[in-house]
Amino acid sequence: QQQVRQSPQSLTVWEGETAILNCSYEDSTFNYFPWYQQFPGEGPALLISIRSVSDKKEDGRFTIFFNKREKKLSLHITDSQPGDSATYFCAASPGGNYKPTFGKGTSLVVHP
């Protein structure tokens, strides 16, 4: 059972456009949602995260929008740059000593 779903599987945008990556979850106990960015040949690295008490989190060009009622969140990357080309993982956890759950990732390509 896949508890964290990401869409689309792959996304291509032009430089300067806004990329929108989607994530949904099933477990209502999840309250912490980090997004990880992974470049080829490297391990994932935390990009930005949000807790369920918030509906929006911004960090520069990266913004998470969170809808607790619909159990959905999205990562918006504004003014996309070729250097943003990577795989993005949405993850979720209820906190405490619980195992994290990762989505399958979205591969983003930004064309110059």
Partner 1 sequence: EAAVTQSPRSKVAVTGGKVTLSCHQTNNHDYMYWYRQDTGHGLRLIHYSYVADSTEKGDIPDGYKASRPSQENFSLILELASLSQTAVYFCASSDRDWGQDTQYFGPGTRLLVL
104 counts as binding partner 1 under rule CB under 8 A: yes
The binder of partner 1 chosen from 64, 103, 108, 110 (CB under 8 A)? 103
- Unique residue bearing structure tokens 């993005």: 88
- Give the 3-state secondary structure of residue 84: helix
44 counts as binding partner 1 under rule CB under 8 A: yes
Closest approach of partner 1 to the CB of residue 93, in Å: 4
10 counts as binding partner 1 under rule CB under 8 A: no
Q: What are phi and psi of 77, to 5 degrees?
A: -115, 105
Site string for partner 1, 13-32 (x = CB under 8 A): ------------------xx
From the number of C-beta atoms within 10 Å of its C-beta (0-12, 13-18, 19+), residue 89 rates as: buried
- Give the 3-state secondary structure of residue 80: coil
Positions in the binding site for partner 1 (CB under 8 A): 31-32, 34, 36, 41-46, 49, 89, 93-100, 102-105
